[in-house]
Structure formats: C-alpha cells, structure tokens
Amino acid sequence: MKTALQIFFLFFISLFLTTTAAAHSVNLNSGEVVHLKQLTADLAQMQVVFVGESHDQKAHHDAQLQIIRELHAAGAEVAIGLEMFRYDGQDELDRWVAGKIDEADFAKIFAGHWNRWDLYRGIFVFARDNGIPMVGLNIPRKYVRKVARNGFNSLTDEERAKLPLATCNVSNKYRDFIRRTLDGHPLDGTAFDYFCQAQILWDASMAEQLAAYQNDNPQRTVVVLAGIGHAWRHGMPEQLERFGDFSYRVLLPEIPGRLDLNHTSADDGDYLLQGLEAGPLH
C-alpha cells in the first residue's frame, strides 16, 4: 500500500511540474494564466497582434509561428507584418507568397533585408504554403541613421514628405527605455534627442505602413513580428494610434530578470509568454 501511495504521489508531482513548466501565456491585466485556446479566441477578434521577439532566439520564433498557425486554424484571415522586411521589398514578398520564387533565391533576397533565414524560415514557408499575405513594414535604414546623427530636421523636404513626423515628445518611461537601448553608451542633450527621434521615426514609419495595410484589408488580423523594443506598448502600438483607431494586443516573450512578472505590467503589454524554451504554448 505504501509503495502504491508513493508511486501515485511521485506521479502527481511529476504531472504538476510538467504542467507548470510548459510554456504558457499570462494575462498582464489579471495576472491569470491563459490557455492557448482562450488566447487564440481573444487574438482572433483583434485587427493587429504584436508579437515581440529577441531576434536570435529560436524559441521566440517558434512561438510566433505557433500563434500564426492557431489563428489560421481558428478561421481568422491572417496576414503577417514584418520588421525584418522593408516596404520597398513588397513585390518580392508577394512573389514568395505566390510561389513564384524558389527558396534558394528568396533566401538571398531575405539576406538583403535581414539575417538568419534559418530562424524565420518556418514562418515564411507556412505563409507561402497557406497563401497568407506578408507585409514589409521596415523603412530604409539610411533615414533612421541620418536622424540619429543629425535629427529629423536634417532630412530633405523630399525625404520628409515620405515619412511621418518624429519628435522626442515622449514619457519618462520611454526615455528610460531609450537609455537602456543605448546599453552603456549614454547620450545627453541634443545627441539623446536625435537618437530618440530616430527610434520614434522607426516605430512611426512601421506603424504607418501597418495602418495603410489594415485600412485596405480590414477583414485581416495582422500578426506583427518585431523586436521587443518595437512591439512593446509604447513602441509601434502607441505610434499606430496616430493613424487610426485599431484594436490590438501586445504579446511579449519572457526574458528572466528583464522582461518577467517582476519587471513587466499591463503598461508594457497584454500577455507575457513564459517558458518558451520549454516547448510549445499550452
């Protein structure tokens, strides 16, 4: 009898640890763990879903693909917005989704926009195989670099006509974020303002592209894949509000010690994706 009880107890503990160790999402408004089906049902009602990433983390990209798969399986008309592709490459993206470019050639095209095709391949192949539109959101980096060096007013009239206004009229929280982005290379005064303007320009330009696509395709749920600094609520989502009243959710991957329940709130996003290294979301 004692042996049977011990076996049952060990089985129960093992089951408990397995369940709690599995990847899951936490609602940052309520603090509750949300089942994948509940998460999908909520996201499917949105016009835009921002899913943040650390670019070099495979687990983050696996979670992004899983969310796209779940929304597609639930019947949502999904599109995928990409930080990692400039808007001037949209024709190439369209040809990829249409199956008019083979993978070897497209991997070379991708390398002209971003790196680590191997990490993003699953997402791109799923989009192609299921006819899911992909939307390039990023802007040519020359504009961001120019503003970071000399400010928004250094742009020519022709350049400014193509871009949204970028000023550093931001909250202290956003300023703190910019300082963390500088990672030990502090800037002060005008230099800080120029760097801040560049970040705002980057977020606002991607938000403008996103808004234009959503306005033309209001039936779509656009899943936006972007770095955490762009995906958090005060990045691209906040800039999106300049261009219209869009419903959206923000999903951020947990990074222990930096982006976890001790350092993240509903002011940063709607859901925290925990334990992604353990496997698929549950």
| Confidence band of 4 (pLDDT split at 50, 70, 90) | low
Whole-number percent of the chain with pLDDT over 70: 91
Contact between 207 and 47 under an 8 Å Cβ cutoff? The reply is no
pTM check: above 0.85: yes
Render pLDDT for 23-44 as a digit per residue (tens, 0 to 9). 999 999 999 999 999 999 999 9
- Determine the distance from the C-alpha atom of residue 173 to the mean position of all C-alpha atoms in its chain, rounded to a whole number: 20
Protein fold of 2-278: Rossmann fold (3.40.50)
Encoded tokens for 62:
């696996």
| Confidence band of 8 (pLDDT split at 50, 70, 90) | very low
Sign, CA dihedral 275-278-279-282, equals negative
Encoded tokens for 264:
């993240």
